[in-house]
Amino acid sequence: RDPWLFPRCSEGHFYPIGGGACTRINRPSEHTIYPPLAEAYFLVVDRLSPGGARHKPLQVAGALLAAGTLLVLLRRGGARRAVYWAWCPAVPMEAVNNAHADMLAVAAAVLAFGVAGGRAWPAWRGTMLGGAIAVKLVPAVVLPGALSGSLSSGRAARGALWTTASATLVVAAAYLPYVLLSRGSVLGYLFGYVAEEGYDEAGARDRYGLLRLVLPDSWAVPAVLLVLAAVTFHVLRRGDPDRPWRGALVVTGTAFLLLTPGYPWYALLVVALVALDGRWEWLGVPLAGAVAYLAPEWGTYAYAAAAAAVLAGAGRT
């Protein structure tokens, strides 16, 4: 066993695994919450890493993915938009220093929109988005944006069908070995995580912070579902098929403002979509996530400021 990943319990505050041994892995008795392609990513990095490298290969991989994403953003929107990604402090902090696997999911999402713009290559877009979802489940909120305008014309509807089918096929293929081998535990600690973070019971933590300013706690979850359904329908009906990243940004950003998550690395997806679309007012969302993580008592106020910035910029074209 790697002595860094499985240190002696006397060396610090680690997680006991029995027999007097400890590990840095949190919840070692639970099946992983990470989807299949994230696990494959960890395995590949581990196999390619020299002994004793610890977390550094994951940081190098994060840096390479962030740089590759920047190149795609430059190709799609030019330097004036790509700068939102290149200069955002969340990128080096969360993608590189903290080496979150979210960076791989973000790279796949950017490839979905950045390599083939507009109506082109719907199957490619679905494949990349399916890959992103099979790395981290969060990019599922991007899918409605990829289907922008699909309710407005037959041609857009056919493209949406290809995109949805491709994404579904990739996710199903990735999860199939999990289903066959682990059956009921295929989702790992997901439901425990949802409860732990307060998503299943408004008021348990600081989730749904903005809604709880104006609604009773018991109304928060239904309100989230209602607002997200309305925003999604608007994007499907009125969204621009030639600029699907705009619809993706609206749905994703709205979801963050409604859920008020406390982990800033989730919002790397928002930063990438801002760099694709140029709507810089949404950058308050990742900033609010960082505030919620570092100073939870100020998180709701930070998300309120982010929402105000989005509303102030809503009239821009």
Locate tokens 């329908």: which residue?
233
DSSP letter at 181 equals H
Rg (the chain; Cα; Å): 20
Locate the DSSP E strands across the chain. 15-18, 21-23
Can you tell me whether residue 2 is helix, strand or coil? coil
Q: Quote the pLDDT of residue 203.
A: 72
Q: How far apart are CA 235 and CA 272, in angstroms?
A: 19
Q: Quote the pLDDT of residue 141.
A: 97
Q: pLDDT, tens digit, for every residue of 232-284? A: 999 999 999 989 999 999 999 999 999 999 999 999 999 999 999 999 999 99
Q: Quote the pLDDT of residue 282.
A: 98
Q: Which residues of the chain have pLDDT under 50?
A: none
Q: Quote the pLDDT of residue 172.
A: 96
Q: Quote the pLDDT of residue 196.
A: 85
Decide: 37 and 174 in contact? Cβ < 8 Å: yes
Q: Quote the pLDDT of residue 116.
A: 60
Kindly give the residue spans of alpha helices, DSSP state H, lying in 14-121: 36-48, 56-77, 79-86, 90, 102-114
Adjacent-strand bridge partners of 21? 8, 18
Amino acid, single-letter form, for residue 269: L
Locate the domains of the chain by residue range. Answer: 1-30, 36-312
Q: Quote the pLDDT of residue 176.
A: 92
Please enumerate in sequence order all residues whose Cβ is within 8 A of that of 217, keeping only pairs 6 or more positions apart, or say none: 202, 203, 208
